[in-house]
Structure 1
Amino acid sequence: MPNEEHPGPPPDRLAFQAGEGQFRALAEAASDGIVAIDTESTILFANAGVSRIFGYPADELIGADLTRLMPDFLRHLHHAGMARYLETGVRHIHWASTELPGRHRDGHPVPLEISFGESRAGGRHIFTGIIRDITLRKRIERRLTIENGVAQVLGRSTFEAGVPAAVLEAVGRALGWPWGAIWARDESGEVMRCTEIWSADPQSHTAFVERSRQLSLAPGQGLPGRVWASGQAIWVSDVVGDQNFPRAEEAGLVGLHAGIAFPVQRRGETEAVIEFLADRVEEPDADLLGLMATVGAQVGQVIERRRAEEALQHSEERYRSLVQATSQLVWTCDPVGNIVEELPAWTGYTGQPFEAYRGLGWLEAVHPDDRDPLLAAWQRAVAAGEPLREFEARIRRADGEYGAFAVRGVPIFKPGGELGEWIGTWTDITARKQSEDRLRQADRMEAVGRLAGGVAHESNNQMSVVLGSADFVLRRPDLPEAVREDVEHIRQAAERTAAITAQLLAFSRRQQLQPKLLDLDKEVRTLEPILRRTLGQVNTLALRLGGLPGRVRVDPGQLAQVLLNLTFNARDAMADGGTLTICSRAVELSAEQAAAYSGDTVAPGHYSVLVVSDTGHGMDRATLARIFEPFFTTKPVGRGTGLGLSSVHGIVRQSGGHVTAASEPGVGTTFEIYLPVAQPEGKDDAPAAPGLDVRGSGTVLVAEDEPLLRRMIARTLRESGYTVLEACDGEEALALARSRIDLLHLVVADVVMPRVNGRELAVRLQRERPGTPVLFISGFPDLEMVERGLLEGGQPFLQKPFAPEALARMVKELVARGPVAG
């Protein structure tokens, strides 16, 4: 029934309800919660599942705002996201399935899995959500995390004293509870004292830590004392209000509330208590409480094994058997290594019936490349009667795909010492292997980034000298044509080297792109001669450019790098000759079309598309799936680095676009590069005319520690009309500046120099000669300089290598501006 606050839905919403009878009947029968809202987030329908999850009667929710079911921090985000979606069509969360917290009627949070859909009813947008309470799943995940963490700690701990401390941190982090302690009996055995503390935020818990270390608790006193007295795990929802918690005041001050404590026992007697505190009030969880009691028992078993030599072997075998057998696929076999009993879990995963996997038939489900090594390891273990240590192999699922597994097995001996059977597990490590691959990839990326910075610094310094010297030679009017051609080749080779360095920097994301507003068709035509030379004489380049209506904002140098990389790949794929075709077209992606792309997130809107197709040997599906992975290459050693297509992907993504690939063996490969059409902004990013006069006048101080480069810079500026002072580092530059009484119009300073670097030079110049402008130069990219604290963002910067004309043009511009504000 409608209430006073929500008198009931208006007629248009009643129309939705009346017209959806079949939907309502199906929704009411569903076990999940189903809710429908309009564009104002007003609830039009809520089934019984919603009532079960959130504790509200369904009729009380009709007409209410959906944010009633959300925690406070999500309410504004929801309304803002709805408004943005209605305006732009861009979704702020993944509609297919996403996990979000809900808010129960009594105020406690509810973890949810939600899927969304959109439809129209009566001319209105209707959004439907399917809501599943995943509280149980989250509890199971937390339990598994704790079990695995404790198992790992207990499996690797060597010393008795280290076992409880390691468990303390492992369980605390898995629980998400920020404070834990171990309480142990003192030498008298009459009281317990806090012997070990772990805190996720030690500074915030200082007062509570000090109070805990001061206390001595008798049996029944405080939470640890109650556990000591009862020998049972105990949960307190909020210790701040607990009359038998001596640290209640300090707990309230530092924001600690829910508490759980459990005993560590040896021979039925409590020797220690492990205690954890949460930063929130939380009602008892019987499953978690039982798990904590189990953890305490496990810790006690480890201590017992360390102290009692005569019971060590029996306890150790039980513990190892327990840990190694608690996995997804458990197996047993007879003493000679043959499976003789049905294994339902194995059948469920592999699809093999018992008749197929009995004996050694299970090997048929092992990947052919792993089969012989695994069999050899298993036969050695059986022959020696020793455990089969963790052995990794791929197992075929029932659908034909392979998963990565670690197999373990232990022999079980009869009381007389005779081998009775084997028991073991297949543990799915597919996710772990993927994580390890990602970690290795991240390490390699970081290494490439560090290498890129060093290569850029050294290579760009030298390429600046080569480019500058070539420019000086090419200016000479008396230069023979044959010599001019040779020098031009030197200049082109230097530019190519600089481009490779830039590619490495772009791939490692250590270079900031410099996008400009470009006519994509025109830019491709400009690159046509370079692309034809790259393809070679046995291949043909065909351009089919369609007069794109809009322009794109992209770094022209990086666009050239994208097309060059694709051309290099096409040339290698067409060793016997073929055709590389570059087409352009305009497309508009709807929200549905954009959402259909897998992998990268794609925004709907207008795009200019370059389609690059070759008639090479093509790729199979497995190779195609990995082509954008860094360092992946199918070329022979020395022919490919695996960076080319990774750089293509990275550059296009940094430019706001996306790239797709299709290929078929024996037919060829096609790449489609989508670049968003830029919004008109009134004027183009026109480059400076190369013939513009760059001559000027004034005094310029050059501080550069590379002698050849310093001389090249000084010569360029002198020939452009400037008086030039040269310094080998920042300290000499300061001395020269102090020796001059006339105006210093500009300082050109390398960022990285011995003794006094470029930034320190600029700071000290501002104190001694306020207003002196500084142009920073470096072989490192400006983004890395800012990250390393060697350069402030927004300061004048010229990336090495640079042409003399580019240097002269920037110097003229900065001198013309005059002194800078302090």
Structure 2
Amino acid sequence: MLGLFLLRARISDIPLYVTVSLTTAAMWLSSVRGGVVHIGDLSIYYSSAVFFSALLVILMVAYVQEGPGAGRMMLSMILGSSVLVNGFIAMGISYLPGPMAEQLAATYDVSLVNLLGSIFVLFIDFSILTITYGLLQRSGSGSPLYLRILAVLGLVQVLDGSLFLLIADFGEPDLLMMLIGMAASRLLLTLVSSPFVYVSLQLDRRISGRHEEGQLPLFGLFSLEDIKYSRLGKELKLQADQLRENEMQFRDLIESLHGVTWELDLASLQFTYMGPQIEKMTGFAPELWTGFDFWKERIHPDDRERAAEFCRQQTSMGRDHIFDYRILRADGAVIWIKDNVVVVMKDGKAVKLRGILLDITEQKAAQQKLVQSEQRYRTIVEFAVEALVILDTETFRFAHANHKAEQLFRLNRDKLMQVGPLELSPEFQPDGRPSLEKGREYVIAAMHGSPQEFEWIHLDSTGREITCEVRLVQIPGQDKPLLRGSLLDITERKAAEKELAESRYREQELAFRFRLAADSARLGIWDFDLLANRLIWDQRMHELYQVPPDKFEGSFEAWADCLHPDDLEASKIKVDQALMTDDNAEMSFRIVLPDQSIRYIYSIARILRDATGRPYRMIGLNRDVTEEQLAEAELRRAREMQFKAGEIANVGGWELDLITQSLVWSPQTKRIHEVTDEFEPRLESAINFYAPEHRQLISDAVQHGIETGEPWDLELDLITAKGRRIRVRAVGQTDYVDGKPVRLWGAFQDITERVSAEQERLHLQQQVLHAQKLESLGVLSGGIAHDFNNLLTSILGNAELAVDEVGDNPGARESIEEIQLAAQRAASLSRQMLAYSGKGRFVIEQVNINEFIEEMANLLEVSINKKAVMEYQLSAEIPLVMADPTQIRQVIMNLITNASEALENRSGFIQLRTGTLDITSSAELLEEAGSSLHGVDGVTPGCYAFFEVRDSGCGMDDETVARIFDPFFTTKFTGRGLGLAAVLGIVRGHSGAIHIRTAPGEGTAIRVLLPECRSSRVGQNDSRITANGSWVGSGLVLLADDDELVLTVGKRMLGNFGFEVVTATDGLLALEEFRRRSDDFVLAMLDLTMPNLGGDEALRELRKIRPDLKILLCSGYDEMEVSHEVSNQPGVSFVQKPYLANDLRNAIRQLLESGRQEALVRGTATEE
């Protein structure tokens, strides 16, 4: 042994005193009993009798010669020499039989064990099983006396300044890498300054001195290569190697997982392990993940406190937990993490956290898309125009219903889910079939894959019948048989259709009556197109002129050829004068029939003019007045005869002597006055027979005749002695003698019947004129509105484009916005004209009556009598109403105007008041208002907003109140009697009522009640794609319109949308342009009213060339002008002028994208 140490000293240049000391220590140690200590894979027996004394001597010598550091070095050498000596002893014991080995081991005490326990020796070994355990168990020494480190990261946790000695197995490659590596060496130098001893069985891997990189003192003292392992040692070595291999495989498996495994020590809040995948996931290397604070700093600021606090709470309660949060990657990107955490408990206390981090960014994105998709679908369903339901065919109950369905049936969703469609249906449908039987047929057919469309009568919760257009479609792929149903409330449409049918019937009846009246009055109707020189006669005209239809050329010249030559020039002059100055024409002329007979014609006409005032059409009546003319001629002759008869026989005549003031009546005159033959008339009493309003008239006529000698011929009202009012014709003249008036004489004629007949004729004539007037105004207003809308399209379109082009110029932008506002109001007037002409509809929206009145205040105040005082009492608590703003303005203006006229240019007040009225029932209103309530049929109980116009004017009696809403009834000399009739129609159309309070001399108060708005829906526009100014299309568009202004602005708009545009000014040119490049066009935009070939005709021709072409129709008229055949074609849409750029963009987008949806539906149907 001494030689071995000498050899070792030469090789290692160890001082001689060291070698001698070690040899002496080894000899002492080998000669006495000792304890067991674990070094590497060996079990060493240390003698305890003299170990402590020898150790102190050696350390003192080393300290004297070499300083404090040598003392630690000598301790390491002593222990190393003990390892060599006692190693052979341990190996020898291991080869002995079990009982013998146990007896030998029992002879040693544990003094060294106690010594090492007090100075804290750290043993490092990665092997799971070693010989040490067996030897310790045999020796009966009890539990190990050291900390056994089995993982690299575990070393860091136990290093501190209390360590005295570190002993490790040099044969562990991981340990070698850890201790020699840069980071580990620095860490060891920082934490400990104790000597570090390697024990190895390989001489060539011996390490001594200091490691230059880490400056770590390392000592390799012994090489035991020549020592042979025992059988037990070899087996344990193989087991240790296998365990290390298994450990490496397990580590590889963990680190190959998709997630990142980690472990955190709760005492130090430091990570003891972080999987290498963390760098790929977050961009931060594993060694940077030092502890809890680094992890927290990586969490997104919005999630940081929530995630950290959640983890603390769950850990404090010892609960395993899973939570999601966002991590900020090293490159700044944000990823979603799902953290699965396991809490490791020891003695009821959480000591560690272990977990797996999973990147769920893509999953979160998919979930977000799914949520957004569901939200979009839910929004579409909830805000759909139609009521949408899902029907469970097993229970025949609703499984789902949208908000519109709740409104339709007036049930909340919970109650609606408790019933089905049959409970909300009458017992029988209009065709007489039971609802149960008929409904089941539709459901069965739909469940067999055949979509059903039909009309159905439903009942809401109040029992009110609702006419619905129903569609049933099977929902495939469900756990139970379900049907999707859509219900569109067409009650109003059906009522409108019924009203339209009744209106048409009334029109036909009126036309029939008019024709009957025209035939009875022998009236002929004609229509003359001034621009085309085309004259159209009805059959009665042909009969009047005795010209067959096939012989009539239908022109102005053809009519002129029928006139009497003496009347031709005068008639032409009257026509020309009327065309230049008047809207009405009236004249009489003679015509020459083919048999050369002469007839007298009376003609009246209405002249229609365009926006520039140029006449383009005349509509009129002809009446044969030959008999009347002959009768008038005969009457003139009769008058002459009557005058002569009066001179001779005083028949129906009278005579007044101006000298004596005596008055004489003939017997016929007395009969006219209904007095007896004995009646003696007097001048002062005779005047009283005339109606009071005509007395001055006859007096003036007589006085004028006396003064001038001119005869008079008057038609006056006479009140007979019996009180009967008759119409008489009074004629008279003056006789002169020597230039002085001496006598008046004349005659009376009772013309009551003739006047009545004439009045009847005039009344009929006025009715005809009125009907023609209304028709002409309708045609005129519709045409004006159409052309006006074309102009507004250009104005609004260019103004909208100009807004985008003026940039940040506030003045220009404000001016353009004023133009847009004025054009929008003009568009509202245009819609009103279209509605009047029967070619439009009104737009209903939420209206605040107070705001309307405040907006109209200036206009109202300048519209009333200057002596009138305008007062306002506007209630602050007034609900919104659903109304047409233009109609409400008209109602207010009409009522204010009537109130002003009721003041009759006198001083007074006009009060405009608003408020709220709760109505329990229509009966309640009737009881309160009596007969002065109008429009109450449509009033339902509820809350009503009202406005009231009250004046201090003349008031009205009951007879007048009963007739004020009759069409054409008026109390004004210049009135037409349509204002209040229109007011009543508007109020009824809004489901409102009118209440009137008045009395003669006490003024009038008219209150208009309108129901409050019960729905959040504003307007009645169709549901369309939400405005999206960023949408851009592509492709070639054909734009056809006969208005150059519309073409210009339309081309610019389409260009801004990303399209190329080809324009055409009529349908034929559009067709020619399309034929040249039919396959290149993605859309055709056609005006409905174009010359040569209209929009609907052009559509049919284009579809013949390319059936799949998308076509957008536009017109100044409403969509109702589009024919049913055209509007129902797929791929055809409509936009009304004037339109804004965003409206046009949405219409085009919806039309183009509808094709893809239809293709998808057809593809699904084909697969099924």
Q: Output the TM-score relative to the length of structure 1.
A: 0.46
Larger radius of gyration: 2
